[in-house]
Amino acid sequence: MRTTLKWLQRAENFIMGGAFIIMVAALFIQVVNRNVTKLALPWPEEVAVYSMIYLVLLGTEAGLRDGTQIQITAIVDRFRGRVKLGIQIVARLVVVAFSGAMAYASFGVIAAQAQSGQTSPVLRLPMYVPFGAFLLAFTIIFLVQGYALIVLVKAFIANDPDASVGVVPDSPDEVEEITAALGLNETADSEGAEEKR
Amino acid sequence: MSLTVFLMFGVFALLLIIGVPISISLASSVLAAIIFDPSITLSFGVIAQRMYGGLESTSIMAIPFFILAGNMMTKGGISRRLVDFANSLIGGVRGGMGYALILACAFFAALSGSAPATVIAIGVMLYNDMVRLGYPKERVAGLLVVSGGLGPVIPPSIIMIVYATITNASVGDMFKSGMLIGGLIVVVLLGVAAVFAKKEKWPKEEKGSFSMKKLGTSFVRAIPAILLPVIILGGIYSGLVTPTESAVLAVVWAMLVSLFIYRDMKPKDLWPIIIDSAKSSAMILFIIASSTAFSWLFAYSGASAALVSAINAMNLNAVMFAFIVAIVLLIFGTFLEGIATAVLMVPILWPVAQALGMDVIHFGMIVSISNVIGTMTPPVAVNFFAAASVTKLKMGQIAKGQLPFFIGYVAVFLVVVFVPQLSTLLISR
């Protein structure tokens, strides 16, 4: 399962990163075109919007998986052991149920769009292409969060909260990330190295 | 109608308490209302369709672009140049680094639009040096928390874009108003810092005395960074680009500066920055999508219209209503994340404010600043968490150091609430 999750993360990152680059490129072309080349280019905006929809939906899946979605944990964190695990199971169950319902509903909407032959205004893309992001993302959320739920239930039965650790990797520490980017870790390290010498 | 509203708000609150992410809590409460309220005969598909509608917008696309530009600048060596410039501007006077911290936060705010990012980027650069020089650490941490609050007020501002998307206000006008009010907050914070510099005998850095040469050098080094807000605001106000397009230009400029001028970032660093920015953007935009479904059902159930009539029947004037809104938003902001508060409350409160004749920019500034104050008030206080992680101080210590600056910030907020003209001073109608 871990290998599957790793591959899933890579595929998602590829789509999210690709969508982001397409958004930047499309709107940059639009600005240059309107102010410099002045060609008739109606497509950049539509391409950028549809790319953003994929970015948001898959980014939400990634955020739910690595625990970086905003949530209030102050109350849950007051509990320990089985009580805490029980609350986490209920919370996870809500996410699974919601994503299942949304995957089912999105399938219905897509089927209706395919049947009616509805297309986008500029590119004439079938509307199930942008809307497909909902079906794709909510199906993945349903499966991944369902797996996380099973692990939590097993931890609850075994009364072992540690067994659930690692289902969702911890989010990276933002401070460490920024200090590293600013080169301050290197400074601290080199100072430490000099002291040792 | 009442059952719908009860289900929506009751389920939302319950899910928040048990730790369900805010975006899923919002959308699940809509789902619960559709399932359990017999008066609503809608399919689940309507939720997905409304969420799609919330995302199918060019104006909210400015949010991921500003997040990406901000992350590139943060990791591309911008904070160091801004701190050096701010330091050379006010070095040498008693408490000079305190003033430099406020100015550096203001400069950084003009690039990032995010409060916790401002706290971390500037805090990491200045906090340890200031403590080493003898500044009281609780006070520095407190100043950092409040100065970080300039992030969402000085443009570009993510919360202002969200607000403008919901109410159809002009992003350009919101930014103009933000510049004025942000400037006012800077002046007030500098004033409070001056009082405490004298009272608590903050150190005077001998080495940091003012010199034109130092100022000139640091200014030249900071020019590429300072040009970013010029590109953003100049582009919008000249009419050459829309706010979303200006955000794209900001991304391209930030990438060029970080890679080729400052050279603190390498091409291989770009991909992780893009992925991180994509995740942060998805988090905010999915909350917006969920709240679109939430506020749509609120209006569909008739609750929105009933609320407008009820408040109209109270015969409140616009200023009194503005004050009540401020209190409500501050209470919500204490428990909820800022964007979530705005996307949840603005669609409900704005029709009432409009009916009472409130100016859309004035209302927007109340929303934006109350949002920032929420980042400084526990339990959900991202600025506090950011400052605590930089300074390693306890929340109580930071709260104590923060108080005088926080009071100054709230005083400006009250002036904004009670003097509508302040928000619209720079706007030509």
| Interchain CB distance below 8 Å, B278 and A64 | no
For residue B117, the number of C-alpha atoms closer than 13 Å in the C-beta half-sphere is 27
DSSP state of B265: S
Q: How far apart are CA B186 and CA B194, in angstroms?
A: 12
pLDDT tens-digit map of B272-302: 999 989 998 898 889 889 988 988 888 888 8
For residue B22, what pLDDT is reported? 86
Q: How far apart are CA A75 and CA A171, in angstroms?
A: 20
Identify the residue among B44, B232, B294 best suited for mutation to test binding to A, counting A beta carbons within 10 A and taking the highest: B44
Q: B174, B136 in Cβ contact below 8 A?
A: no
pLDDT tens-digit map of A178-189: 444 444 443 334
Q: Where are the alpha helices (DSSP H) in B56-170?
A: 62-75, 78-90, 96-112, 115-132, 137-148, 158-167
Q: How far apart are CA A30 and CA B251, in angstroms?
A: 15
- pTM value is 0.82
Largest CA distance in chain A: 75
Residue numbers in B near A59 (CB within 8 A): 278-279, 281-283, 285-286
| Interchain CB distance below 8 Å, A71 and B19 | yes
Q: How far apart are CA B378 and CA B403, in angstroms?
A: 13
Q: Please give, rounded to a whole number of angstroms, the shortest distance from the CA of B238 to a CA of chain A.
A: 12
3-state helix, strand, coil in chain B (%, to 5): 80, 0, 20
Express as a percent the part of chain B with pLDDT over 70.
97
Q: Could you state, in order of their start, the residue ranges of all structural domains in chain A?
A: 2-168
Please state the rounded mean pLDDT for residues A33-42.
Answer: 85
| Interchain CB distance below 8 Å, A102 and B44 | yes
For residue B219, the number of C-alpha atoms closer than 13 Å in the C-beta half-sphere is 8
* Structural tokens at position B381: 């206080």
Residues 284-303 of B with CB under 8 A from A: 285-287, 289
Please state the rounded mean pLDDT for residues A67-83.
Answer: 82
Point out the residue among A109, A131, A175 whose CB comes nearest to the CB of B390.
A175
For residue A128, what pLDDT is reported? 92
Please state the rounded mean pLDDT for residues B49-53.
Answer: 92
Express as a percent the part of chain A with pLDDT over 70.
81
For residue A192, what pLDDT is reported? 39
Point out the residue among A31, A49, A73 whose CB comes nearest to the CB of B19.
A73
Residue B343: phi and psi, rounded to 5, are: -70, -25
Q: How confident is the model at residue B231 (pLDDT cuts 50, 70, 90)?
A: confident
Element (H, E) at B47: helix B45-55
pLDDT tens-digit map of B294-334: 888 888 888 877 887 887 788 888 889 999 989 888 888 77
| Interchain CB distance below 8 Å, A106 and B274 | no
Who wins on pLDDT, B163 or A39?
B163
pLDDT tens-digit map of B178-194: 999 999 999 999 999 99
Q: How far apart are CA B349 and CA B342, in angstroms?
A: 10
Q: How far apart are CA A71 and CA A67, in angstroms?
A: 9
